[in-house]
Amino acid sequence: MAEFVSVHSSGGQATIRLDRPPVNALSIALQGELLDAASRVSADPDIRAVVIYGGEKVFAAGADVKEMAHRNYAEMAAISRRLHASFGAVAAIGMPVVAAITGFALGGGLELALCADFRVAGENARFGVPEILLGVIPGLGGTQRLPRLIGPARAKNLIYTGRFVDAEEALRIGLVDQVVPDADVYRAATTLAGQFVSGPALALRAAKEAIDTGLEVERLHFAALFATEDQKLGMESFVASGPGHAKFAGK
């Protein structure tokens, strides 16, 4: 039974919940459980959208530095492969994923949030990749996903300085998509995720993979979707009634 990560689902939506007090430090064990949770969610045909949540006080304040401080190169080379696999599994969840961010999302915590498709933040949330202050660099996707999201220059500013940004700045630079009162973060995230639950599941999966992977994948998925029931329902509804009226079957 998982100790630090749980999955709860209802009405086609799942929540992956981090629970390692006091700050959800991303230990090796937690990341292993995260990999299992992401794999379970991905394989469940009844789940159409996912929220990642760290609780009311903090999303995740980074990797567990105490576990890493005295590791050597050979050890970290092996460990880093496993850690990348856990975050990769979250990024590869084939449905819309929303990160619900309260408190700190720092280092690996921010890198985990970057694996989601959307980020909803509380007014008092703080973000940063302070690894440079420890003599290293972001190692769980931050040097790749952060520039893609906010642009290379802004990403370099955050990575080179290790500074924190508040929710207002995070919204302004595109690091988060929505800022709400702290008490409303989880509700706002589930509302955002909920709009996709009744959508065309296969098309959403294809769109996500195409955006994240490239043009050839886009072409292949576009053609392949003409073998789905949702494509027939969507286009027949458009011809009959115009856009926005289709009731998709998820097949």
Cis, peptide link before residue 21, omega less than 30° from 0: no
What single-letter amino acid sits at 126? R
Q: DSSP letter for 183, please.
A: G
Annotated catalytic residue, options 111, 168, 218, 236:
111
- Is residue 111 flagged as an active site residue? yes
The strands making up 118-122's β-sheet, listed across from edge to edge, are: 5-10, 13-18, 49-53, 97-101, 118-122, 178-180
Instruction: Retrieve residue 244's tokens.
Output: 């926005």
* Among the listed residues 105, 114, 17, the one whose alpha carbon sits nearest the alpha carbon of residue 60: 105
CA–CA distance from 114 to each of 16, 76, 229, 240, 242 (Å)?
15, 22, 32, 40, 35
- Is residue 131 flagged as an active site residue? yes
Please name every residue paired with 97 in a beta bridge, in sequence order, or none if there are none.
50
Annotated catalytic residue, options 75, 131, 169, 236:
131
Q: Which residues are catalytic?
A: 111, 131
